[in-house]
Amino acid sequence: MILLAQLSDTHFDLHERNAERVEAVMAYLADLPRRPDAILVTGDITDTGERGQYEQARTALLADLEMRFMPGNHDDRAGLREVLLREPPTTGPLNQALRLPGVTVALLDSTVPGRSDGELSAGTLAWLADMLRDTPAADAVLVALHHPPLPMYSTVVDPIRLTNPEPLERLVAADDRIVGVISGHMHAMGTTLFGGRPLVVAPSVASLIGGVWEVARPGQVPIDYGPDPSILLHVIEDRRLTTIVRTVPMGGRIAVQPR
Ligand SMILES: [Fe+2]
């Protein structure tokens, strides 16, 4: 069994609030009797891509656990590479393969510098095809990207979703090893099917954005900063993806039923 934790849309902005929420989530994960095999941070790590925000993220996300960082539309590839990955600050797509026993996670860069919507470039799609060719036939594969490839009934995020889902959908449908596709960007948890596999969209650690049914007038953004931070815990076993959503209470755990 492989256990993956997914944090998304942490939006480090140099203020305390978002950092404290990530610290609570990381403390929860670090204290688990069965710790995750890896933590995936699926984009919008920072709010505006500044180096200082990546420094803040680095401090809060520092853990003795396997970590993977993906860019979102609010991020800056060069800053992410330089501060979080300690790599040269190059600006090309950041595609990564995480190899775990029996499980491969393909982390795809769906960002387009200067734009809010997403796209998988020809180079990224070719990278994925090559990576799948090098992946053992018995492995389970999880595909991760920041932008949901389908509309999720969000007036905020649907117009800035992945603009070219078709090639990825064909790839997913054609490869039995792919157990699911995960994303962020929506600031709400949601699931549907994509290429016949589960598409699981993660909530944001920072805030919640309501669905189309919460919009009272055109242009209103139904954002809610009240809910405690939520993350996803993905279990991959026997080529099946099971996802549990976990809200981490900022006020601490209450283990006895209040009366
Ligand atoms: Fe976001």
pLDDT digits 0-9 by tens, 196-206: 999 999 999 99
Question: Residue 143's pLDDT band (boundaries 50, 70, 90)?
Answer: very high
CA of 205 to the centre of ligand 1 (A): 9
Tell how far the Cα of 12 is from the centroid of ligand 1, in angstroms.
10
Q: Distance, CA 19 to ligand 1 centroid (Å)?
A: 15
- Nearest to residue 38, comparing CAs of 136, 104, 92? 104
The token duo for 170 is: 């064909």
Distance of CA 254 from the midpoint of ligand 1 (Å)? 29
Cα of 47 vs centre of ligand 1, distance in Å, is 8
pLDDT digits (tens, 9 = 90+) for 3-21: 999 999 999 999 999 999 9
User: Which domains are seen in the chain, by residue range?
Assistant: 2-247 (3.60.21.10)
Task: Write down the pLDDT at residue 127.
Answer: 98
Residue 32 phi, psi dihedral angles, 5° rounding: -65, 135
Helix (H) / strand (E) containing 53: helix 51-61
As a whole number, the mean pLDDT across the chain is 97
**Ligand 1 center to residue 185 CA distance, Å?**
5
Q: What was the pLDDT predicted at 226?
A: 97
Tokens matching residue 12: 């480090």
Query: What does the pLDDT read at residue 156?
Result: 96
**Phi, then psi, of 74 in degrees rounded to 5:** -85, -5
pLDDT tens per residue across span 199-241: 999 999 999 999 999 999 999 999 999 999 999 999 999 999 9
pLDDT band at 31 (very low <50, low <70, confident <90, very high): very high
Specify the pairing of strand 178-183 against strand 140-144: parallel
- Compute the distance from residue 154 Cα to the ligand 1 centre, in Å: 13
Contact 170, 196 (CB under 8 A): no
For residues 115-143, give the mean pLDDT: 98
At 235, the amino acid letter reads V
For residue 45, the SS3 value is: coil
Q: How far is the CA of 45 from the centre of ligand 1 (A)?
A: 8
For residue 209, report the distance from its CA to the centre of ligand 1, in Å.
Answer: 10
Percentage of the chain modeled with pLDDT above 70: 100
CA of 235 to the centre of ligand 1 (A): 24
CA–centroid distance, 174 to ligand 1, in Å, is 30
Q: What is the pLDDT of residues 64-109, one digit of tens each?
A: 999 999 999 999 999 999 999 999 999 999 999 999 999 999 999 9
pLDDT of residue 169: 98
Give me the mean pLDDT over the 155-168 stretch.
98
Distance 111 CA to ligand 1 centre (A): 12
pLDDT score, position 249: 97
Kindly give the distance from the C-alpha atom of residue 138 to the centroid of ligand 1, in angstroms, as a whole number. Answer: 34
**163: burial class by Cβ within 10 Å (0-12, 13-18, 19+)?**
middle
CA of 76 to the centre of ligand 1 (A): 13
